[in-house]
Structure 1
Amino acid sequence: MDRQPETRWRASAIALADGVDRLAARFCEVVVIAVGSALLAMLAANVGARYALEAGGFRFAQELPERLFPVFIMAGVVLGVQKGGHMGVETVLAMLGRQGARIMLLVGHAVVIGSYLLLSRDILLLADMLWIDRSPVMGIPASYGYYTLAIGLTLVIVVTATQAVRVALMGPEAMPVPAPEEQVA
């Protein structure tokens, strides 16, 4: 029996998962750097403006960081999930053996994906209700933060799915391992 088509299919699926992961990582890295830099520059400029301007700073300087911070956080959450930087308990996995650990990880991934799909749906319903509530200075709808959260959760779903593909095809050792300095014993 020729196993080459199956091997090519597995390699293609893993390559696709890796490509999607790289794309999500690059996007989130750019967002973290751009938004983090903008937040830092804006806050520094506002501190300077407090001393230089009679008005005591920029009126938008409190609202804009409030609107940008959820974007910054959600991009960081996605990167944390990709790098295995979320909280995990490994004791049970070690007791299950390789196949049991694979099944448990896949069930866990399915629970995360299903939960985040439901949560995203409810967040979008809430955002639809809050579009009319606007910030006093800039007029940005309150729904903005909720849409940001829904987009972030969608990206978490995507990177969780790519991890599930790798675990299904390669085993539990395909799970990301955080750098030693990021682990808590």
Structure 2
Amino acid sequence: MEEQREKGWRASAIAAAYGIDRLAARLCEVIVIAVGSALLAMLTANVGARYVLDSGGFRFAQELPERLFPVFIMAGVVLGVQKGGHMAVETILAMLNREGARIMLLAGHVIVIGSYILLSKDILLLAEMLWIDRSPVMGIPASYGYYTLAVGLALIIVVTATQAVRVALMGPEAMPIPAPEESVA
């Protein structure tokens, strides 16, 4: 009976980790598509406007991409982390047995999570200081990009934690393996 309860708890934790990952992936995919499309449309419209308008284009067309680009990039970074598309050196990991690799991976996840928590705290402090600095045309606070970075790091913390749960319960095989077209050997 105790063994079944243990298996049920593990299965529930793994299912929850996958569910959270799917939610984060869908959010980031929507952001990448929406923001990427908006950037493309805006830049295309501005090129056309340069030839039509006496002003030489839209005044906001330089500022808005600068504000949207961090959102686009952070959503892509989260997706990269989820798919194992980040840079890694796995020489030592390959020399370890299964349990050693699991422990090393979990230690790495803890280091990433701890580092990003500390980094996020400093980013939020910096964002608070830059709230009064505004862009000249649209009046968007300079802190916007820093808040975007902090939210992106929070999502990376979440997806790293879900990977850690899977590695802890399933072993090193639970780590994502990027598709061959997404990696360089």
TM-score (norm 1): 0.99
| Shift in Å, 1:181 | 1.6
Secondary structure class of the residue paired with 1:87: coil
- Aligned pairs (5 A) from 1:15-54: 15-54=15-54
Instruction: Specify the alignment match of 2:156 in structure 1.
Output: 156
Secondary structure class of the residue paired with 2:27: helix
**CA distance in structure 1 between the aligned counterparts of 2:107 and 2:40, rounded to whole angstroms:** 40
| Shift in Å, 1:37 | 0.1
Task: Single out whichever of 89-98 and 55-64 deviates more from structure 2.
Answer: 89-98
- Aligned pairs (5 A) from 1:33-112: 33-112=33-112
Deviations for 1:79-126, whole angstroms, at most 9, x for unmatched residues? 000000001112111111100000000000000000000000000000
Tell me how many residue pairs correspond in the alignment.
185
**CA distance in structure 2 between the aligned counterparts of 1:75 and 1:24, rounded to whole angstroms:** 9
| Shift in Å, 1:64 | 0.1
Deviations for 1:16-60, whole angstroms, at most 9, x for unmatched residues? 000000000000000000000000000000000000001100000
| Shift in Å, 1:2 | 3.6
Instruction: Specify the alignment match of 2:131 in structure 1.
Output: 131
Which runs of no fewer than 5 residues in structure 2 stay unpaired?
A: none
Secondary structure class of the residue paired with 1:3: helix
Which runs of no fewer than 5 residues in structure 1 stay unpaired?
A: none
**CA distance in structure 1 between the aligned counterparts of 2:183 and 2:48, rounded to whole angstroms:** 38
TM-score (norm 2): 0.99
Of all paired residues, the percent bearing the same amino acid is 84
**CA distance in structure 2 between the aligned counterparts of 1:180 and 1:76, rounded to whole angstroms:** 18
**CA distance in structure 2 between the aligned counterparts of 1:103 and 1:184, rounded to whole angstroms:** 26
Does residue 1:7 correspond to 2:23, yes or no?
A: no
**CA distance in structure 1 between the aligned counterparts of 2:123 and 2:170, rounded to whole angstroms:** 34
RMSD over equivalenced CA pairs, Å: 0.7
Instruction: Specify the alignment match of 1:147 in structure 2.
Output: 147
One-letter code aligned to 2:24: A
**CA distance in structure 1 between the aligned counterparts of 2:54 and 2:162, rounded to whole angstroms:** 53
